[in-house]
Every structure is written in structure tokens, then in C-alpha cells.
Structure 1
């Protein structure tokens, strides 16, 4: 409207001036359009109106927070030769502030000013951001509007690098290194205003500390492991490229020491073990020809009480204690889907409903509440309910399943799964919500396999052994994994 009014007035005066001397033709300045108003930036147009050849020694715009233009900010565009439109852009405005603006031109030592327009700079806001869970070094995108240049982003106390500010509506940032906290608020600092994102950011966590090496730099394979109140026990199996390993080594996490434990039975590979029972296994007497051992033991701390022999052969089965009973899952030699239950009171074995998939050492087993779970080599998570003798699928492991042989441990309502052979991934599964979260990858030699694992005081211990084909002096290494630490 102001533009139209100024033009109409000008042309009326121009028509009048055409009937008089040319020197009497007026010179006007019009404040035209607000082309863009952002958080700290304004783009505006003006016009110099005359039919004369005129030289403006300076022209531009004035901005002020006062209608009187006290303390006005001047945007000078320099000389202008002849009439016509001009456009200026100025930055450094305060967000959410009312300003007054007008065009001007300096001609023959006189300042000619246009009409005053009122504007209000915009207030920044956030509409979305992603991801809410990631590791340091990844990128985050924050969508919104009115993000001026100079916008800063903080993760807790750590300032992030702003990689791009696109159209003042899309910030791409580099997630900074954590300062010790896993969950932190994210805030934008724009001039003197702070915008805290509605949801905190969670760093991908998981801290690994090497705490020990297996005694005598031994590397054993096809071994057995179990844990109870006496400590973490690893043994049997065979030494790398050598004979059987006949005993156990017990690790005490309170003082970090190993103690050799005698095993009264025969040497064997692929035996099963839970916290309370050990048995089965075999020795390879020729290529793929096995001599089975049916001896069966009750574990009392670090001692072994012999029970009646097993009524079946078993190799590489998985065992778990449940409500005073022992459940045995799968194994080699045609027993992949077999489920067996041992009743300690009657000392009897019974066979349960077969699993709908094969189970062996290439899978992992854990329990939670009244249920037993099996992480299959394929990555499927199966739930077995002993009281109903039934199976259900409960999702799929989202990581790399490598070549089988994963591990599984439970702390509270969360299971920690993964470390398939030839992978270093561990994932957290919330057993109540079914939500998966990736954890930091394990450190150490990538060409390693799991030789044992247990949990104590909210931490998981993982014994890793270099693959048998890997040469060199590479002792088995025991790592402490803190799932929620960085």
C-alpha cells in the first residue's frame, strides 16, 4: 500500500511538473517492501523516485527499535546514479524484537527519507530432531525455523560443531564427545535465548576394560564355562593344537585372581554346564568320530558331585537352571531341536516338546522371569515357557550374526546379546518393551571368539580367545563390560 501510495503521489507530481520547469520536479524516496524477515536478518527494498538525472552520494536504510530512530543502525549502500529500486540486507538484529525501518538517500547534501515501516524479527523454534540415540562423531539434524547464523548447539556442557545451517531451518551438527554422562539435554543457544529440545539425547554406551589374562597364556577351545557364588569357572576342552585341558580355572572378580580347580571326571570337549550341573561331551578319536561321555555332575561351588549317568549322548548342548530344574537345549548329532528336563528330586530326565529350530553351541540361552530365551544362529530370539512347554518368536537380533556362537547375559530387565563369531557388536534388548539399542563395540583382537561370559554386580565379564588359526602369543583376555558407562 505504501509503495502504491508513494508511486501515485510521485506520478501526480510528475504530471504537474511537466507543465513547469524541469528543475522543479520533486525527488522522493519510498520505503517499499519487506522482502524477508528472519531471526537476525532483514531484507528490504526502497525506491528513488524522480525524472531527473540524479546522483545520490549515499542511499540505504535506517533501522531502530525506537520510532524516533534514536540510536538508529544505518545500512549504507553507497552511491546511486539515477532513480530506481534498491534492495538492502542487514543482519545482527535481536530475535523476537520490534524494529522500525525507512529508506533514505543523500542528494546535494540533503537527506531524503521514506515512510516508516514496522517489523518484528522472528523467534526460533524446533520442530524435530534425529537421532535421539547415537555415538559421538555421528551427525544430528535439527529441523525448525529462524536459526540465525551463529546458532550454537550444546550436548550437556559439550558444544557441537555446526556443519551446515540450511535456509535457517535445518541444522546439521556433529555430535560431540561425551563428558561422562550417557543421557544429556540438548539445547540451542541463539543470542541470549536458549531452546532446550523436548527429549534428551542418549549416547551409545558400553565401556570395556581388560581386567586379566587366562593363566599360563593358554588358549583353549571347545571348553565349558559356568558361574556361581564361588566365581567364574572356565575349563575342559582342549589346548590350541594340542591335548585336552583337564581342569578348570576359577576367576574371582572381587580380587582379580585365578585359581586352578581340579575336575574329577574324564577330559572332554563340548560338555554342557549351568550354575548347578555339568555333564556330557565327547572326545574326537578320529576325524568327526567321537567317543561320548555320559557322566553327569552336580556343581557345589567349585566341587563336583557325581550323579547317575545321562541316559543319552550329548555334545554342544546348552543348559540353564530354572526353578530347581535343569533344562537342556539342542546339541549336535541329531539333537538340534531336542529339549530335555531334569528333575533333581526324582533324578529323572524327560523330553519336552521339540523346538521349532535347531540349537547348539552356535546359539545362546538366557532366562528372564518365568521364561527361557534362545538367541539362534540366525538372529531370531525365541521364548520358551517351561510351565506351558511352548515356543514363541520374540523378534530378531538387529546386528550382524556373523558365523554363530553368540553370547547372552541379563542384567535387570535388559539382555545383552551378540558377539557372534567374526563380529564385535553387542546389542541391548529391553525385555519389557522389546526395544533394541546398539552398544559400543568390544575392544581387542577382532578375530576372537567367546570362551566364557558371566555377570557380577551389574557388569558383564567376557573371556575372549583368538581364533585357533590365528598365530602368535595371544593369551585369552578377560574384559569387563559396563553397559551404561562411556
Structure 2
């Protein structure tokens, strides 16, 4: 026999033997029935999703299949997740939501065939703890739609709002609780807690109600125009004047003194030249244009005169080193800081000047990184001067270090002629242009807190403002020129 023929015969014998062995193996395994606990797909606070698999290569008819879950490895008194009859092998999935949070469990797949119950291997798993992530909004009114975000919330989850229990209107994906903020009771800062299966979680930051109570004090008819005027409060007097007179729009050459207790006014003569766009802070004012400013005018007729108001009289002080229109002035201790404004050739100035009050003298300061204007908000707080620019940029000038830095942005649209009034450690800023939007700024934390707004029907404009006895008084006019003026009062802590 040739070598080639011998090789072919040997190959055929081996192939036949392999097929015979394979056939025998399939016949022996075809009647085998088994069940496997595959994996724990996911767990949460009270839910688990599991998969199992039935193994068989022949047709089957099972009376039942599913999972058993128990907190004991012996599976005494287990929870049974029955999936019912089944007539084919393969994977099956079950889910339950009746577990306890933070608990260790064991699970195993099972099947029942001809009355005989078979089990897969026990697989351990643990349920998770409820967790808080955040809530929004942080600040709002009563009936504000609220959302608490977290993880592993259970179906019995409740919200504790300042000690009062609230049932969420919806619980989505075990992660989002929806409800409405209740009406204000006594507290405006609200501690929020979440309770799931008896476990209490507390947010470190409170919810804050938007508060503030506005009252219309009275209509206020006089000749005060819009905010090219000068105004400031000294003691029990609110002093305002200069700027445009109504209805002639000529420049006012006098001041009015308002008694903040009686609201009676007194006209007082001003010995200087009438101006518009003067700077002012405390009893000090100066500069401005001696002619009415129009945007098309190529030059401004600015003055350097500088004045102090004192008990219904005026004292002329040392001239300002530069003739400026709408410069921003801030009094701090025994200094008056003067920033920016517009020069006589209509260029924005970035120069700063410092007036020494005891010495009645001026020195030049460090140049500002932009051109401040008194038509935009500025104030002093705790050793620094603060400015909000036209583009909403929020600047701080540290007076001790004589350094400038950008510290944030104003949270709303910036327009001219709003209010800046400080009560305790809160600076109230806003109501610019025709907007009624007002914020209380916690300067130390740079937290902007919205306040309630006056119920004005028409678009009124801010003319001037002052504080008295913890309340803010705001003059508002129906048009920028100040027609149909009214005096409003805000109690920022009332509700």
C-alpha cells in the first residue's frame, strides 16, 4: 500500500472517531437541565435588577422560574420573584422594589420542573444609601416649582420643609423629587431635609424666600428731573437738586431739602453755577457741565467747582484737579475718591483723584482699569470701593493695597440710574432704567439675593433713593425725564 493511500485511510478513521465522540456528547448533554444566577445588573436604595439563565438543549416545560432574595444566606423565609411558566431555555430578568436601604442580601435563580425545584448559585449584593446632590432654585417665592436631586430615593420619601412634612408630587428615576415651595410661615431661611425609609438627610445650605414689602408713600410733585441731578442724605435730611428742571428742562439752580420724618420740603438757594452730571457722595458734590449735555455735542462745558453741603448752606472747597462729567465719587472715612467720568473733549477718563477731607487737598491716585460713571452703581464696603460697569463686570478697588480686580458680574442687564443703598451688611442694587429688578448683595460671599418689586403698572424710572430706619425710599418717574413722580418705600425684611 502506498504511503499516500495509508495517510488518507488514517485521516478518515480519525474523522469518523471524532464525529462519533461528538455525537455521544450531545446525546448525553441534551437531557441536562440547569439554572444559573448570572449577575446583579443594578441596585439602588430599594430596588435590584437581576438576570438568570436556564440551560437546556431540548424542549422544556417549566411550572415556574424566577429568583429568591433573602437577607440570610440560608434563604429562610425568602422574597420570591416568580416569573411563571416557561417553555424555552435562555436568559430571564426580574426586578423588585421592596427592599430595605443599606442592607446586605443574597439572591439565587430557581426553576421548577415536574415539581422539582432547582437553584442557581447564591450571589450577594447590597442596597445603597439615599444621597443628596442639590436642590433648585436656591432662592424663590412661595409656590415656586422646586426640584431636589439625589440618588436612591425610596417610594416613601418625604420632604421636611422647615419642620413641615411634604409629599413630593413626583419621584423620577429615584433621583428627582418635585414639589412646590409652601407659603412663608415665620422663617425666610428654610432648612430642607429628605427622609427615605426613616433615614434623614439635611442640606447644608438653606432655601431663601424672596421677600420685601413695597408701599406707595405718596405722589411727589416737584421740579426734580432725572438722575443728572445731585442727591444725598445727611442726618435726617434728604438733599436733592441741580440737574434738569421740569417742565422747562433748564438747569436747576437750587436744592430741595426733604425732612425724612415729616416728608416736608424746603427750597434752598445754591450760590454756585447750575450744572448737570455732577458727582456726589455724602455732603460733597462737584464738577458736571454748566450747559445741558446733548449726545451730538462735540465738547462739554465742565466745571471744576467742588462743594460741601452743611445745614442748608454750601461751602466752596478746593477745585477738582480735572473738569469731569458724571464722574463716580465715593466717600470712605476721611477721604473722597473720584473716578472716571467724561472729559471736556468727551473722552472717557480712567484717572482717579483722592480728596483729603481734613486737609482740603487733592492728590492723584492709581489709574482705573475702566472709566467709572456715576450713572452706574458704585459703593464702599469694608475698606474697598466697588463698581459695576456698563458691561456688567463687577470691579473691586482695594483701598489699602491700592489694587484692582474683577470679582464677578452683575446678574441682570445693566442700565443707567438705578439705586445703591446699604443697610447693615447688605447692599441693595438695581432698579436701573425702567427695570424693577432689585438685588440684595451679600458682599462678603458675593451672593445676589433677588428682592420683591413694586407693583407698578407702567414702566417707571428711578430718579433717586435714600435709606431711613432700615427702609429704602425710592423716587420713581413715569418717564426718564421724571414726569408723574411717586415716592415708594421698601422694607427689605418684611413679607
Map of 2:20 onto structure 1: none
Alpha-carbon spacing, 1:247–1:114, altered in 2? closer, same or farther (3 Å): same
Shift of 1:226: 0.8
- Confirm whether residue 77 of structure 1 aligns to residue 88 of structure 2: no
CA contact (8 A) 2:214 2:453 kept: no
Residue 308 (structure 1) shift: 3.5
Aligned-partner Cα distance in 1 for 2:289–2:135: 52
CA distance in 2, matches of 1:309, 1:466: 36
Q: Is the 8 A contact 1:206 1:440 kept in 2?
A: yes
Counterpart residue number, 2:100: 94
| Structure-2 residue corresponding to 1:480 | 490
CA displacement at 1:186 relative to structure 2: 3.9
Equivalent runs, 1:150-189 vs 2, <5 Å: 151-152=157-158, 156=162, 157=164, 159=166, 165-166=172-173, 170-171=175-176, 176=181, 179=184, 181-189=187-195
The alignment status of 1:439 with 2:444, answered yes or no, reads no
CA distance 1:444–1:279, shift in 2 (3 Å): farther
Distance, in Å, in 2 between the alignment partners of 1:276 and 1:69 is 85
Alignment partner, residue 276 of structure 1 = 283
Moved more, 376-385 or 284-293: 284-293
**Residue in 1 aligned with 2:258?**
250
Are residues 1:393 and 2:398 paired? no
Q: Which stretches in structure 1 are left out of the alignment for 5+ residues?
A: 1-10, 19-24
Q: 1:215 is matched with which residue: 211, 220, 226?
A: 220
SS in 1 for 2:373: coil
1:377 touches 1:405 (CA, 8 Å); kept in 2? no
The 2-side partners of 1:469 and 1:160 are apart by 52
2:270 is aligned with 1:260: no
Could you tell me how far 1:242 is from its partner in structure 2? 3.5
Q: Is the 8 A contact 1:100 1:117 kept in 2?
A: yes
Once the two structures are TM-superposed, the CA of residue 392 in structure 1 deviates from its matched residue by 2.4
CA change 1:182–1:355 in 2 (3 A) is: farther
Report deviation, 1:92.
1.2
What are the superposed Cα offsets for residues 372-396 of structure 1, whole Å, 9 maximum, x if unpaired?
44444344455556788x5623434
* Deviation digits for residues 103-151 of structure 1 (CA, Å, limit 9, x no counterpart): 555556x36242573644412253844768454657767355x445565
In structure 1, which of residues 196, 203, 208 is the aligned counterpart of residue 208 of structure 2?
A: 203
1:335-374, aligned counterparts within 5 Å? 336-337=349-350, 339-340=352-353, 342=355, 348-353=360-365, 355-356=367-368, 357-374=370-387
Distance in 2, Cα, partners of 1:405 & 1:230? 23
2:463 — aligned with what? 451
Residue of structure 2 aligned with 1:323, choices 327, 330, 333: 333
- Does the Cα contact within 8 Å between 1:29 and 1:104 map onto a contact in 2? no
Q: 1:380 to 1:201 in 2, by over 3 A?
A: same
Whether the 8 Å CA contact 2:65–2:85 is kept in 1: the answer is yes
CA distance in 2, matches of 1:339, 1:270: 17
TM-score by length of structure 2 reads: 0.70
Counterpart contact for 2:189–2:206, Cα < 8 Å: yes
Distance, in Å, in 2 between the alignment partners of 1:55 and 1:336 is 92
Matching residue of 1:193:
199
One of 31, 35, 40 as aligned partner of 1:30: 35
Give 1:344 shift. Answer: 5.2
Find the partner of 1:465 among 477, 481, 490: 477
Q: Give the Cα separation in 1 of the matches to 2:73 and 2:213.
A: 64
CA distance in 2, matches of 1:330, 1:101: 75
Equivalent residue for 1:4?
none
Tell me how many residue pairs correspond in the alignment: 452
- The structure-2 alpha-carbon separation of the partners of 1:41 and 1:331, relative to structure 1 and needing over 3 Å to count, comes to closer
RMSD across aligned positions (CA):
4.7
> Greater strand percent: which structure?
1
Mapped to 2, the partners of 1:477 and 1:125 lie a distance apart of: 52
Over 3 Å counting, the alpha-carbon distance change for 1:319 and 1:304 in structure 2 is farther
Supply the distance in 2 between the matched residues of 1:263 and 1:163 (Cα, whole angstroms).
65
1:236-266, CA deviations, whole angstroms, 9 ceiling, x for partnerless residues? Answer: 44455445665525263xx6x5211222226
Higher mean C-alpha displacement, 221-230 vs 281-290: 281-290
Q: CA deviation at 1:203?
A: 3.4
| Structure-2 change in CA distance of 1:163 and 1:217 (3 Å) | farther
1:60 and 2:66 equivalent? Answer: yes
Q: Is the 8 A contact 2:411 2:448 kept in 1?
A: no
Structure 1 residue 480: deviation in Å? 1.6
Match of 1:43 in 2: 49
2:327, 2:89 → 1: CA distance? 92
3-state SS in 2 of match to 1:304:
coil
**Could you say if the C-alpha distance between residues 249 and 209 of structure 1 is closer, same or farther in structure 2, counting changes exceeding 3 Å?**
farther
- Equivalent of 1:408 in 420, 428, 431: 420
Change (3 A) 1:123 1:400: closer
Shift of 1:230: 0.4
Contact 2:427 2:443 in 1 (8 A): yes
- Give the TM-score of the pair, scaled to structure 1: 0.71
